[in-house]
Amino acid sequence: MKAITVVPGEPEVKISNVDEPGPEHGSLLVEGQLLGICGTDIDIVDKGYGAPPPGQKRLLIGHESLGKVLEAPTDSGFAPGDLVAGIVRRPDPVPCGPCSVGEWDFCRNGLYTERGIKELNGFGSQRWRSEPQYAVKLDPALGDRGVLLEPVSVLAKAWEQTERILTRSSWKPKVALVTGAGPIGLFAAMLGVQRGLEVHVLDLNDSGPKPQLVADLGGTFHTGDVRDIGLEPDVVIECTGAGSLVYALTEVVGAGAVICLTGISSGSRKVAVDLDATAREMVLENGVVFGSVNAGRRHYEQASAALAKADPRWLDRLITRRVPMSGFADALHKRSDDVKVVVDLQA
């Protein structure tokens, strides 16, 4: 079968002929439908992030999956024809405490593996296999929108963890700010709106489809310096990884606010900040800044429910470009009107 393979850190992307996955890779056999592209894929190719399976030079890439079940054990909860997505992370073999209870997204020793990223082949192939416990059945009405499940799961976790922190006090948040209007930011905004919050989204510029996508959610779109937009948010979901913005956010949030960091900095810029003043302000205002990454199974299930509640026409507009497998390398280069680019694994 055909598969998309790379050597992390090398620009060459190959459509390789590889062996069919055997039963040792999982009892579910799935026909790959779509593969989503995100910044992690770009970092694997351009920056050498991630690693192939031990003993192999090339990594079968792809972690945002959508497929259709071809074969399934009768007692698995799946049947041929089911629409599914694969869970990315696997627990470490030790396992650590969190991994031993299915919370691999909180792995403490770093020995976890991730499909298409870290030491496990991914979903970028015409067929793939999975153990039933690492696959999520989707509402068939979602159709191709099911490829959005993995990124939404990351935000489902971010919101879950934010809400857990907010239970430390009796007051309820009303205003949420999302920084960054890429797919992750848009999904953060979608989940904020579903929670009944007044949602604002801040981005670098107002070109392309993003402002209208935010408006159609019921949110308000902003550009410019966060200190100039006149907001005092109760909750911030930060999706850019820009250190200077994170620092500025600590200056504008309200008392008792929670700032959740989901963006990862490139590490290429240094920002001078007054950490003494920041620490003082966060202590005196009961503020919280925390990070969130990856997702556990329950977050995939939360994401599936959130996608089922969302306006399907709005979700359709997020998928702005489709390319065949042979166009994977081109899909890594973002265009001005791109939101989410997907690969057709059968084309």
Q: Each residue of 107-130: pLDDT tens digit?
A: 999 999 999 999 999 999 999 999
Whole-number pLDDT of residue 268:
65
Considering the entire predicted model, what is its pTM?
0.95
* Per-residue model confidence as pLDDT tens digits over 283-292: 989 999 999 9
Q: Taking 80 as the threshold, does the pLDDT of residue 14 lie above it? A: yes
Q: Indicate the helix (H) or strand (E) that contains 188.
A: helix 183-194
Mean pLDDT of 130-155: 98
Neighbouring residues of 164: CB distance < 8 A, sequence distance ≥ 6: none
Amino acid, res. 252: V
Neighbours of 218 (CB within 10 A): 12
Closest CA to 319 of 31, 20, 34: 34
Extract the tokens encoding 63.
């972690």
Evaluate whether 84 touches 68 at the Cβ level (below 8 Å). Answer: yes
Amino acid, res. 189: A
Helix (H, G, I), strand (E, B) or coil at 294: coil
Whole-number pLDDT of residue 12:
92
Mean pLDDT of 85-103: 97
Closest CA to 6 of 113, 125, 89: 125
Extract the tokens encoding 230.
């006149």
Mean pLDDT of 158-176: 97
Q: Which CA distances in Å does 162 have to 32, 159, 237, 248?
A: 34, 5, 9, 19
Whole-number pLDDT of residue 192:
98
Mean pLDDT of 142-166: 98
Closest CA to 343 of 326, 333, 334, 143: 326
Evaluate whether 136 touches 147 at the Cβ level (below 8 Å). Answer: no
Whole-number pLDDT of residue 277:
85
Whole-number pLDDT of residue 269:
66
Work out whether the CA dihedral 185, 191, 195, 198 comes out positive or negative: positive
Q: Which CA distances in Å does 92 have to 230, 233, 332?
A: 45, 38, 30
Q: Taking 70 as the threshold, does the pLDDT of residue 267 lie above it? A: no
